[in-house]
Chains A and B, each alone.
Chain A
Amino acid sequence: MNALLDADRRVSRAWDALAAVEDPEIPALSIVDLGLIRGVKPRSDGTLEVEITPTYVGCPATEVIRRSAERALGSAGIGGFIVTSVLSPAWSSDWITPEGRRKLEIYGIVPPERSTESMRDVLRMNRPVSCPRCRSADTETLSEFGSTPCKALHRCRACLEPFECFKCI
């Protein structure tokens, strides 16, 4: 097997394997949809380095994600690999792919708007959010923090259903 010629194929297989790893908290999305994989590149010794970044520093899913990624890569037939964690640049909700945003919507979670870069941005984010089920704009915030660090909890006053909204960071 010619390692040089094979590198591209190994990288693309690794991406395919990672694209099949569900996020443990939002199983409708893969970890690639969420923009958690920052890079897959071969090192000089042939090992494939896969860089993962956490969404929130305290997110309990981070370690599960890492283990699931390692398991998926292990059975993808890509040879030696190493999963590393990168902090910088910090994950942004802008990194959720268009496909990921579409899946969020179908799942009933309002996708994030533009990311926030300052306290001023965060204060401006108190915007009306339309209900993902009935589209009514008559909604209210129930809790700024939802079932996971990345979401806030809202309620629709028209259809009375609660729904979650992805925070913009």
Chain B
Amino acid sequence: MSDLFRYVLRLGDLSLVLGQRLGEWVGHAPALEEDLGLANVALDLVGQARLLLAYAGEVEGRGRSEDDIAYLREHREYLNATLAEQPNGDFGQTIVRQVLIDAFQLELYERMTVSKDERLAAIAAKSVKETRYHLRYSAGWLVRLGDGTEESHARAQSALEKLWPYTVELFAEDELDRSMAEQGVAPRLSEVHAAWSTRIDGILTEATLQRPADRPHSWHGKRGQHSEHLGYLLAEMQYLQRTYPGARW
């Protein structure tokens, strides 16, 4: 497996898994507007994943399509950071997860528009325009929840405590991240981290929420070692293709 293939999977799987999670809200969101909002963000994320996974298939060169890659891989072959697969919880927890990942994708894509890999640069330039709207939506909600009622504040803070440890993995640079940065394919994660951190601090301050401390993490979704939640998500997402192989619209 080439480095580029694995790296593109990390990006594509992050979008796909988060998009699938958001899709679970369809028909269940607290209000019709939020149903629409979450579904629209999910749609954009799945769209990004299609572009990325199609590219991964080309890089791999074994003739796998975006659908083969999405529907026919085992959970250990998924390379998304563990944060994306964490359950929706209540609306507050979904919004916290969304803010953390939207801000990550924003800072990553903004810098990837000048990637030496032209295809990734094009996908990043296209995606970042949508990601800005995702973050405006999620951060807007986090401020309303954090700076809202006692109940909404407490729930948002507790979701933040719960999900914060997973953010460490987003920025933990391993040899693959390093090699992509050295080749000019991806930005340095330390740079993305610094920008993300400033942005998140601004949002948390406005939301009157406390930033939890970073702790050493033991999550390695980026290497295919996932939490117990991903298997269930994939079982639902992949059910149709696994049960009726080759089924088409």
A169 to B, closest residue via Cβ: B129
Chain B contact residue count (CB 8 A cutoff): 31
Interface readout for A54-70 with B: 1 if CB under 8 Å, 0 if not? 00111110000000000
- At the interface with chain B, which of A8-16, A82-90, A103-111? A82-90
Q: Are B137 and A144 in contact (CB-based, < 8 A)?
A: yes
Q: Are B137 and A145 in contact (CB-based, < 8 A)?
A: yes
- Which residues of chain A from 40 to 93 have a CB within 8 Å of any chain B CB? 56-60, 87-92
A116 to B, closest residue via Cβ: B132
**Cα separation A119 to B129 with both chains bound (whole Å):** 9
Chain A contact residue count (CB 8 A cutoff): 27
Which residues from chain A sit less than 8 Å from chain B, CB to CB? Answer: 56-60, 87-92, 116, 118-119, 121-123, 142-147, 149, 153, 167, 169
Which residues from chain B sit less than 8 Å from chain A, CB to CB? Answer: 32-33, 36-37, 39-41, 43-48, 50-51, 106, 118, 121-123, 125-127, 129-130, 132-133, 135-137, 140
Q: Of A58, A92, A118, A122, which contacts B133 at CB under 8 A?
A: A122
Q: Are A56 and B130 in contact (CB-based, < 8 A)?
A: yes
Summarize B's interface: helix, strand, loop or mixed. Answer: helix
- Identify 12 residue pairs between A and B in the complex whose beta-carbon atoms are under 8 Å apart, listed by A's number: A57-B127, A58-B47, A60-B43, A89-B125, A91-B126, A121-B132, A122-B132, A142-B33, A143-B37, A144-B136, A144-B140, A153-B36
Q: Of B33, B130, B135, which contacts A57 at CB under 8 A?
A: B130
**Cα separation A168 to B136 with both chains bound (whole Å):** 13
